[in-house]
């Protein structure tokens, strides 16, 4: 192991020397036939195929790549080693700069390559032109850093990632065995290991004179556990069960990994979000409404359960449906309703129209009193629900993929009023029949899966209930993770969308 570490140090030293000295003999021009990739070709075409990398520029690139960990990335992902031959070294530096710029500007991974539906637009900057301008101005490092999202949230995730990355490097994880529930004030033989794990995860500082290995579940430990639970989207009651121990056992390395995934997802999204929009975090199960660039409210939502995941979409909301009819999808009919009898259909106000099962408006209608129609090929929309008790639950992944909104009727009234169509919506509701109200100004809706995010100035993590974090972490080279606790069976309590 020591020999491997020494070899890596030597390799890095040689790389540093090569970067610092490559400018002296750089060729005046490059071989056009050797340049690969549209970005590299555009870069050299713009500069008349003249070589770009002198010693100063190469050193600036090295310094910029050394900061890759602040973005959850590694320098060797972009520049593993430098060729000795000058022309090859020139092209390698260009590829590295453009690859790193692209990773910061629009993400290292194409989200559509992960096998899940993804229709949100990604940034598409002219990196070749930007790189040329940065080299001409001598501002390569500044330009590269500016490609990453310049938001408070991204900076907070970056800071937290570096903290937990450092904690992970100095922490030896010891699994805490499962057992019975541990309640505040109780005594448990696992408490010393739990206290040590809370310290290792940055949740607990033991003041001088306090016991390092307390046998009892003391108030300081309870508060630390509550913070852990809140950060992981659990009910912060201080009662330790399997989910709390699972989060604790994962340690700082897992938190660092998930923060890196969170930064990658932020890099996928356009830098200028629509000023008026609805953002749904399907992992955390809440909705944020933004109007003219100002946060105008948050609502709890119910999103798709595992197996019926809510897809990641950007889609316009185009109309409101008052007293909607639920046209039952064929998949729900075949899997969950085909075995039901006529008494069930009558009790739930269901009937067949043109060979399709529908649920008519009324107090049991799965869409409630209002539906928010959106234009997308996945037949995903927001809607009301008669099952309102679920909104009080911490775990709210209970639907077949559509998004149920807490206080949906009030929200529809608000949107209709701001859109100048409130009277039309009120008239439609009063009729008792299904009617549609077209919005004068469609509202963009973004369905985002964010397991790491900034919430009220605090970085929060919520469970990766869909298992969508791990493939991203793998492509980022962040290593394997232990199997996660997954819900078993259907979480939903009804057959609504």
Among 266, 291, 316, residue at a domain's last position: 266
Confidence class of residue 81 from pLDDT cuts 50, 70 and 90?
Answer: confident
Quick check: is 104 in a domain?
yes
Q: Structurally, how many domains does the chain consist of?
A: 3
Residue 215 falls inside a structural domain: yes
Last residue of a domain, one of 266, 301, 320: 266
Q: Is there a single domain that holds both residue 116 and residue 187?
A: no
| pLDDT score at 483 | 58
Residues 198 and 255 in one domain: yes
Residue 479 located in a structural domain:
no
What's the pLDDT at 485? 56
In a domain, 464, yes or no: no
45 pLDDT more than 80: yes
Q: Are residues 55 and 201 in the same domain?
A: no
Could you tell me if 384 and 444 lie in one domain? Answer: yes
Mean pLDDT of 374-378: 95
Check residue 117 and give its pLDDT.
96
More confident residue, 233 or 73: 73
Instruction: Check if the beta carbon of residue 359 is closer than 8 Å to that of residue 326.
Output: yes
Same domain, 343 and 259: no
Lowest mean pLDDT among 5-14, 45-54, 277-286, 358-367: 5-14
**At which of 113, 148, 183 does a domain end?**
148
168 & 230 share domain: yes
Structure confidence by residue, pLDDT tens digits, 126-143: 999 999 999 999 999 999
Closest alpha carbon to 489 in 417, 419, 397: 397
Same domain, 280 and 404: yes
* CB-CB neighbours of 202 under 10 Å: 18
Residues 139 and 174 occupy one common structural domain: no
Average the pLDDT over 77-94 and give the result. Answer: 92
In percent, how much of the chain has pLDDT > 70? 90
Same domain, 288 and 250: no
Weakest-pLDDT range from 60-69, 87-96, 177-186, 404-413: 177-186
In a domain, 494, yes or no: no
Question: Is pLDDT of 486 > 60?
Answer: no
pLDDT for residue 212: 62
Domain of residue 162, CATH code: 1.10.101.10
Q: Residue 121: which domain range?
A: 2-148
User: Among the listed ranges 115-129, 323-337, 448-462, 480-494, which one has the minimum average pLDDT value?
Assistant: 480-494
Residue 486 lies in a domain: no
Tell me the pLDDT of the chain averaged across its residues: 89
**pLDDT at residue number 293:** 95
The candidate with the shortest Cα–Cα distance to 259, out of 71, 90, 91, 395, is 71
- 220/316 same-domain check: no
User: Are residues 299 and 342 both part of a single domain?
Assistant: yes
Q: Are residues 204 and 306 in the same domain?
A: no
**Domain membership flag for residue 107:** yes
Mean pLDDT of 7-13: 37
Query: Which CATH number characterizes residue 305's domain?
Result: 2.40.440.10
- The verdict on residue 316 lying in a domain is yes
């Amino acid at each position: 192991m020591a020999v491997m570490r020494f070899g890596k140090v030597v390799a890095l030293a040689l790389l540093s020397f090569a970067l610092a000295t490559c400018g002296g003999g750089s060729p005046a021009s490059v071989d056009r036939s050797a340049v690969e990739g549209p970005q590299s070709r555009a870069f050299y075409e713009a500069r008349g195929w003249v070589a770009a990398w002198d010693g100063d520029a190469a050193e600036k690139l090295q310094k910029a790549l050394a900061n890759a960990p602040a973005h959850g990335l590694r320098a060797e992902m972009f520049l593993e080693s430098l060729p000795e031959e000058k022309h090859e070294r020139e092209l390698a530096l260009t590829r590295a700069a453009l690859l790193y710029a692209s990773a910061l500007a629009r993400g290292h991974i194409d989200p559509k390559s992960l096998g899940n539906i993804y229709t949100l637009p990604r940034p598409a900057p002219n990196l070749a032109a930007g790189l040329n301008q940065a080299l001409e101005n001598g501002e390569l490092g500044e330009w590269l850093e500016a490609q990453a999202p310049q938001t408070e949230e991204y900076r907070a995730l970056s800071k937290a990632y570096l903290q937990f990355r450092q904690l992970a490097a100095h922490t030896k994880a010891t699994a805490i065995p499962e057992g019975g529930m541990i309640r505040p004030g109780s005594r448990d033989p696992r408490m010393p290991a739990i206290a040590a794990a809370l310290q290792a995860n940055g949740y607990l500082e033991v003041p001088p004179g306090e016991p390092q290995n307390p046998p009892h579940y003391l108030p300081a430990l309870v508060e630390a556990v509550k913070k852990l639970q809140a950060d992981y989207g659990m009910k912060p009651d201080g009662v330790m069960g399997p989910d709390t121990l699972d989060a604790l056992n994962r340690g700082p390395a897992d938190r660092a990994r998930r923060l890196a995934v969170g930064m990658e997802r932020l890099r996928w999204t356009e830098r200028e979000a629509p000023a008026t929009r609805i953002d749904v975090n399907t992992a955390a199960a809440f909705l944020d409404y933004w109007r003219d660039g100002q946060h105008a409210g948050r609502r709890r939502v119910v999103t798709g359960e595992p197996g019926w995941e809510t897809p990641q979409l950007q889609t316009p909301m185009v109309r409101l449906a008052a007293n909607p009819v639920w046209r039952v999808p064929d998949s729900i009919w075949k899997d969950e309703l085909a075995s039901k009898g006529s008494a069930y259909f009558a009790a739930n106000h269901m009937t067949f129209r043109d060979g399709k099962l529908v649920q008519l408006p009324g107090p049991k209608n799965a869409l409630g009193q209002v539906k928010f129609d959106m234009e997308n090929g996945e037949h995903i929309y927001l809607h009301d629900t008669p099952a309102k008790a679920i909104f009080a639950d911490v775990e709210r992944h209970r639907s077949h993929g559509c998004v149920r909104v807490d206080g949906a009727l009030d929200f529809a009234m608000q949107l209709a009023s701001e859109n100048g169509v409130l009277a039309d919506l009120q008239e439609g509701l009063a009729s008792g029949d299904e009617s549609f109200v077209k919005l004068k100004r469609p509202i963009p809706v973004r369905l985002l899966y964010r397991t790491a995010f900034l919430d009220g100035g605090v970085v929060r993590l919520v469970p990766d209930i869909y298992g969508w974090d791990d493939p991203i972490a793998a492509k980022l080279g962040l290593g394997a993770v232990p199997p996660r606790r997954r819900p078993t069976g259907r979480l939903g309590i009804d057959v609504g969308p």
